[in-house]
Structure 1
């Protein structure tokens, strides 16, 4: 097994594994293992969200299925906002001989799979809520630890391409999770298959993680007040981190507005005969263009050693896609918009992730701080449906919806110029 090499930085003594800056490129095998584990995480998230929870809500409460689905997924989203930075902070403080991240990846996968099995036998709203909240907590613990392995082990000059593969795992995991949930036949079988996918896809990473143990002598002392206060990253002391958070929030808000209400857009504005099938086609097109663009542009970003120009271009492209949907409410316009949105968001996912890893305040709290960044991914998914519904019903319809999405994307791309420490 290859041992990663490190150089010292301001977060720890020179050459100290785990806290110092990695300098040796990671191999393709490690990238593949992390990508597979990411596939498992995202399949665990989106198989239930996109298919199984809705079907189960209809079985458990056929007269109130929309309310039950919203209740379960809403409470799960609230858990995810807290769980990601929380478990990230706990992994930062872990001194297991297997490494800081492996125990949380293993525990997250096993508890997440167990929670999905609880959902497989859930026959009441209360058990659905319990099972899904537990699944969200466990899978977010796993995701927080996995994400932190990139700044732990990947040198800056390779983070664009690795960020691209992280984005590929997210996109393919969503599609694969929906496929597994749909094709297995029945809610119970879907949950069992999804639980198995989470565990099986994580095994290769667990067997050869390259995770570096943190010496016990460097474990931070436990002080609850300081631990809680650590989740607030001062914009005054760390302005680049604050700008990275805000720009990520804005672009993800624009993307969420552009994608979450597609069914109603196709039904009401486009007049599509089968909006459900239309959403599936647009989702596949969107995913294909994300996968096609993310690794290529991430690698290009690494070669040029520049991030901001790619993030700016990605925001402008996603804004253009939203304007296409606003100005051309036709099936052809929707297809073009899905292609353009996929390209723009694919570039954004890989390069902005690399940028975020370069503005983290301290190496000792990488997972916690990336968890705070990940809140900027989760919050737009909570706000977008309500903001979108308000725009559609009270502020100009779908034109205002997609114009707002375009403005959010463009504003997010422009404000990235305020980040000073990254080229």
Structure 2
């Protein structure tokens, strides 16, 4: 088991392993997106001090939490790379992260001030990123290259279902505390099938270098000059995720304040479901198709272009039907992007010994947009043109990410 932990995998994984890892991944996203889609926005409005807008409070809370995520994901990924536990490299961090995330969600449910809200969300980001870093690293540990598009598709489907389930739990169970409790229970129980039924690969202590804080920190510096494909892949993912984050951040407020929806929470759930349905229709198919033809870049380029076009449509056709059409198109594009871009990322990893750390650095391209999006969105909405300008900006950023995929040379 020790040597296989560091070799390039060649044996295809079974459906049971893929299903269990996908459920674990989806459970983590329930813990993130129940709060992000509904609960944090409701609490931000309730707790906003006099003279401070709910948009500003939500931007600060999510932005500071995303800063925590920026550091947590690569750090926990690096720690899992070095873990020599009898339960393997990744499993201990999945268990600890999910348990800590559930406890943090319960703490967050009792927030009665903006400071408590911020601290609670930071704890959620810290703990769930420990679990997410380990789940993500399990794929290059176990899945051969020409199966990663398919596995990435199932992980992407689970991610989307996690967003839908999290949004549904936050909306349907009634009340903020009940919503957080439901998300916490789902997050903790969802990782159990994987950690109980599937044995992780173990790493012998002799493979772990002596601890050195300087060398540990130095390992997080990946030179774009030495690894240009990794750098371009990171940048394209970052830009497309910034675009997506700009669309999602103020969705609840957009429906209520711009479209005058009587029940904006239900509107968010409907749009999320429409987006989810179209994404489910493409995420697994796109990944499997990419495996079959042995190409990644064309799928990422065209999926990014579809998402940029849908975001531009949302800027120009600001009606409820327009929002539904845009949500459907975004789902089509994001489904293909989610599975194929994940496979592309694993294809450009530099070394087997640092898979968790390197994927953690790549995953910064998922969390950093949560910092960038509030910084961009708040002034655009309040001072520079409102929601039309916000969504046009998102379309331009997403299109730039799609174009830059062409700079990656080592992957077809």
TM-score by length of 1: 0.89
User: 1:103–1:275: structure 2 CA closer, same or farther, 3 Å change rule?
Assistant: closer
Q: Given the alignment of the two structures, is residue 344 of structure 1 paired with residue 314 of structure 2, yes or no?
A: no
In structure 2, the partner of 1:82 is: 71
CA–CA distance in structure 1, aligned partners of residues 126 and 265 of structure 2: 30
**Cα 1:414–1:264 shift into 2, 3 Å:** same
1:112 matched to 2:101: yes
Match of 1:10?
A: none
Partner of 1:21: 8
**Aligned residue for 1:47?**
34
Structure 1 position 390, deviation (Å)? 3.5
Q: How far apart are 1:130 and its partner, in Å?
A: 3.5
CA drift of 1:318 comes to 1.0
User: What is the rounded CA distance, in whole Å, between the counterparts of 1:404 and 1:69 in structure 2?
Assistant: 20
In structure 2, stretches of 5+ residues that fail to align are none
Q: Which residue of 1 aligns with 2:274?
A: 285
Worse-matched range after superposition: 42-51 or 29-38: 42-51
Are residues 1:36 and 2:23 paired?
yes
Higher mean Cα deviation, 357-366 or 127-136?
127-136
- SS at 2:202's partner residue? coil
Q: 1:8-34 CA distances to partner (integer Å, 9 max, x unpaired)?
A: xxxxxxx92111100011111011101
- Cα drift, residue 341 of structure 1: 1.1
Contact 2:59 2:374 in 1 (8 A): no
**What SS does structure 2 have at the residue aligned with 1:360?**
coil
Which residue of 315, 318, 324 maps to 2:304? 315
Per-residue CA deviation, residues 90-136 of structure 1 (Å, 9 max, x unaligned), is 10111112110001001111222222233344445554444332221
* Aligned partners of 1:112 and 1:195 also within 8 Å: yes
Superposition pairs of residues 48-63 of structure 1, within 5 angstroms: 48-57=35-44
1:8 is matched with which residue? none
SS in 2 for 1:21: coil
2:149–2:291 CA contact under 8 A, matched in 1: yes
Which residue in 2 is equivalent to 1:381?
Answer: 370
Q: CA RMSD in A?
A: 2.4
Q: Report the counterpart of residue 293 of structure 2 in structure 1.
A: 304
Listed as ranges, the matches of 1:196-275 within 5 Å are 196-266=185-255, 275=264
Checking the alignment, whether the CA contact within 8 Å between 2:171 and 2:265 is kept in structure 1 is no
Q: Which has the higher contact order (CA 8 A, sep 6+)?
A: 2
Tell me if structure 1 keeps the 8 A contact 2:64–2:371.
Answer: no
1:362 lines up with 2:351 in the alignment: yes
Measure, in 2, the Cα distance between the counterparts of 1:250 and 1:60. 32
**1:266 deviation in Å?**
4.4
Q: Distance in 1 between matches of 2:67 and 2:178?
A: 27
Q: Residue deviations 1:254-277, cap 9 Å, x none? A: 222233334455456656565554
- 2 CA distance for matches of 1:150 and 1:223? 27
TM-score between the two structures when normalised by the length of structure 2: 0.92
The CA deviation at 1:420 is 1.3
Shift of 1:70: 4.4
2-side partners of 1:108 and 1:419: how far apart? 33
Query: Quick check: 2:62–2:370 contact (8 Å CA) kept in 1?
Result: no
Contact 1:43 1:197 in 2 (8 A): yes
CA distance in 2, matches of 1:117, 1:221: 38
Question: 1 CA distance for matches of 2:234 and 2:274?
Answer: 28
Of residues 53-62 and 274-283 in structure 1, the stretch that sits farther from structure 2 once superposed is 53-62
* Deviation (angstroms), 1:201: 0.8
**For residue 328 of structure 1, what is the aligned residue in structure 2?**
317
Q: How far apart, CA to CA, are the structure 2 residues paired with 1:291 and 1:265?
A: 25
Please, which moves more after superposition, 118-127 or 136-145?
118-127
Counterpart Cα distance in 2 of 1:18 and 1:282: 41
The whole-number CA distance in structure 2 between the counterparts of 1:131 and 1:230 is: 29
Q: 1:145: Cα distance to partner?
A: 0.3
Task: Please name the residue that 2:130 is paired with.
Answer: 141
In structure 2, the residue corresponding to 1:302 is in which secondary structure?
Answer: helix
Gaps of 5+ in 1: 4-14
**Contact 1:261 1:385 survives alignment (8 Å):** no
Shift of residue 38 of structure 1?
A: 1.1
Counterparts of 1:258 and 1:169, CA distance in 2: 21
Q: Aligned partners of 2:297 and 2:341: how far apart in 1? A: 8
